Chains A and B, each alone.
Chain A
Amino acid sequence: MSDRDIEQLPADIACLEGEEAYDVRWAWQDRKLPSGLTCVFRVKNEARNLPWVLPPMLEAVQHVVVVDNQSDDGTPEVAARVAADVGAADRLTSTSYPFRVSRAGAEHLATPPDSVHSLTHFYNWSFSHVRTCYSMKWDGDMVLTPEGVGMLADLSWQLEDSNAVVAIPRHPLSIESDSVAWIDLGFRFLEPWIYPMGPEFTFVKAFEWEVREFPTSSERIIAPEGMCVELKWLDSDEFSHWSSHDDFGASRAPRKLRELEVYRALMEGRGDEVHGLQRIEAPPGVHIVDHVTGTWLPQQQRPLVRRPGRIDV
Chain B
Amino acid sequence: MTPMSSPAESLPAKRRVVFVVGSGRSGTSTMSGTLQTLGLHVPQPEVSADETNPKGFGEPQWVVDFHDELLKRCNVQVSDSRPQAWFEAGKLSNLEPLRGRLRDWLESQFVEGGPELVIKDPRLAWFMGLWRSAAMRCDATPAYVTMLRPVTEVVGSKQKYYASKFGEVNRTAAWVNMMLHTERATRGSARAFVRYHDMLTDWTVPVFGLGQQFDLDAVKSASANDIRSVHAFIDPNLRRVQLTWDDVDVPPRLREIAEESWQCLNTLADPGGDTVDVHATLDELRAAYADLYDEAEAIAQSTALAAHRDGLAQQPMPVQVTRRGVDRVPHGVRSMVPASARRGLRKALGRER
Contacts and interface: CB of A to CB of B under 8 A. Distances in A.
23 contacts: A34-B287, A59-B188, A146-B136, A147-B136, A150-B129, A151-B129, A153-B188, A157-B86, A157-B185, A158-B86, A158-B90, A161-B84, A164-B87, A221-B91, A222-B94, A224-B133, A298-B139, A299-B7, A300-B3, A301-B1, A301-B4, A302-B99, A302-B100
A221 to B, nearest CB: 6
B137 A298 contact: yes
Contact of A157 (B2, B91, B184): B184
A225 B97 CA distance: 11
Contact of A155 (B4, B7, B90, B287): B90
A28 B108 CA distance: 49
Given A185-B1, A224-B94, A224-B133, 9 more contacts: A147-B133, A151-B93, A157-B86, A158-B87, A299-B6, A299-B137, A301-B1, A302-B96, A302-B100
B283 interface: yes
A150 B137 contact: no
B148 to A, nearest CB: 20
Interface of B is mostly: helix
Nearest to A150: B132
Contacts of A153: 188
Contacts of A303: 96
B305 interface: no
Contacts of A158: 86-87, 90
B95 interface: yes
A290 interface: no
Interface in B117-157: 128-129, 132-133, 136-137, 139
Contacts of B136: 146-147, 150, 298
Contacts of A147: 132-133, 136-137
A303 B6 CA distance: 17
A154 to B, nearest CB: 4
Contacts of B287: 34-35
A295 B93 CA distance: 20
Interface of B: 1-4, 6-8, 83-84, 86-87, 90-91, 93-96, 99-100, 128-129, 132-133, 136-137, 139, 181, 184-185, 188, 283, 286-287, 290
B4 to A, nearest CB: 5
A299 B129 contact: no
Q: Which of A154, A161, A278 has the most CB of B within 10 A?
A: A154
A234 interface: no
Interface string A276-311: 001000000000000000010011111110000000
A278 B87 contact: no
Contacts of B93: 151, 154
B90 A300 contact: no
Interface residues of A, number: 32
B95 A224 contact: yes
A160 B87 contact: yes
Nearest to A304: B1
A260 interface: no
B95 A301 contact: no
B87 A300 contact: no
Contacts of A162: 84, 87
User: Ordered nearest first, which 7 A-B pairs have the shortest CB separation?
Assistant: A158-B90, A154-B129, A224-B96, A150-B132, A298-B137, A162-B87, A158-B87
A271 B254 CA distance: 62
Contacts of B137: 147, 298-299
B208 to A, nearest CB: 29
A146 B129 CA distance: 12
Given A146-B136, A153-B188, A157-B184, A299 B3 contact: yes
Interface string A212-231: 00000000011111000000
Contacts of A221: 91, 94
Interface in A132-147: 146-147
B96 A225 contact: yes
A298 B6 CA distance: 10
Nearest to A162: B87
A7 to B, nearest CB: 26
Nearest to B129: A154
Nearest to A298: B137
Q: Which of A59, A158, A278 has the most CB of B within 10 A?
A: A158
Q: Which of A160, A185, A225, A278 has the most CB of B within 10 A?
A: A160
A312 B4 CA distance: 30
A47 interface: no
B115 to A, nearest CB: 17
Contact of A278 (B1, B6, B8, B132): B1
A77 B184 CA distance: 32
A299 B4 contact: yes
Nearest to A34: B287
A159 interface: yes
A127 B84 CA distance: 26
Nearest to B181: A157
A122 to B, nearest CB: 30
Nearest to A306: B1
B94 A223 contact: yes
A157 B132 CA distance: 16
B4 A300 contact: yes
A150 B90 CA distance: 12
Q: Which of A147, A225, A301, A304 has the most CB of B within 10 A?
A: A147
A290 to B, nearest CB: 14
